[in-house]
């Protein structure tokens, strides 16, 4: 680290953080994107969401148990974006260099205390923009299907409540503004994949935003 720098980079568990000398805290970043889905930089997750939030990379995940029940979550009341809103099981942002499926697993563990079994990409190209109380979400947000064999243990800093329901019941009730705008839009696209979530076909990774596509490493010769 250079002597005059106020921030230095820490690499931990495949995630990118910065330590700020101004605040004495680690700062988590989101990946900023251009219109082609190419990464163009990073921004502080805690301050990126404003009335003009830049386009960035995220994901949504829909978690089911062995009997086909769907896990619905309510966002913590303390959240800056969409506090107290009911939504899909878990959302989040991948770190630089982190595979999307790894990010999904990490966030499910952090928010819900869950170890995911299967994780399957189903909507690689989902994108949306929404606004609530002057705060904008603006994301390229691939959607994943996942399964678990345990009960959630929510992190109260992230999740206000959870409940299991049937997929058909969720689709019927998630039609008003008590549910997140992204999950209401995603439901329509997921329904087009089929009536039975376990049978949703895997999405093509080539359809992911460029910044989220798997990196192919060729062996040296």
> Residue 7 pLDDT more than 70?
no
Active-site hit among 111, 137, 139, 158: 139
Q: pLDDT band at 44, cuts 50/70/90?
A: very high
Mean local confidence (pLDDT), 140-154: 98
Q: Which of 91, 111, 137, 158 is catalytic?
A: 91
**pTM given for the model:** 0.86
b/e for 4-23, b at 16 or more Cβ within 10 A? eeeeeeeeeeebbbbeeeee
Query: Active site includes 139?
Result: yes
Annotation says 61 is catalytic: no
Q: What percent of the chain has pLDDT over 70?
A: 85
């Amino acid at each position: 680290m250079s002597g005059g720098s106020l921030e230095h980079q820490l690499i931990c568990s495949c995630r990118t953080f910065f330590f700020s000398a101004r605040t004495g805290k680690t700062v988590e970043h989101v990946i900023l994107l251009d219109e082609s889905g190419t990464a163009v930089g990073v921004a502080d997750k805690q301050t990126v969401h404003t009335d003009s939030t830049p386009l960035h990379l995220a994901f949504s995940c829909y978690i089911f148990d062995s009997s086909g029940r769907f896990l619905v979550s309510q966002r913590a009341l303390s959240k800056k974006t969409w506090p107290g809103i009911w939504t899909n099981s878990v959302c989040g942002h991948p770190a630089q260099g982190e595979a999307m499926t790894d990010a999904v697993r990490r966030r499910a563990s952090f928010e819900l205390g869950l170890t995911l079994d299967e994780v399957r990409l189903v909507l690689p190209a989902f994108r949306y923009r929404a606004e609530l109380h002057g705060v904008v979400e603006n994301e390229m947000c691939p959607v994943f299907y996942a399964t678990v064999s345990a009960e959630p243990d929510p992190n109260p800093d992230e999740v206000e409540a959870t409940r299991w329901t049937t997929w058909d019941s969720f689709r019927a009730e998630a039609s008003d503004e008590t549910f997140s705008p992204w999950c209401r839009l995603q439901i329509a696209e997921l329904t087009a994949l089929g009536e039975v979530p376990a049978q949703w076909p895997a999405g093509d990774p080539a359809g992911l935003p460029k910044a989220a596509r798997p990196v192919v490493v060729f062996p040296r010769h």
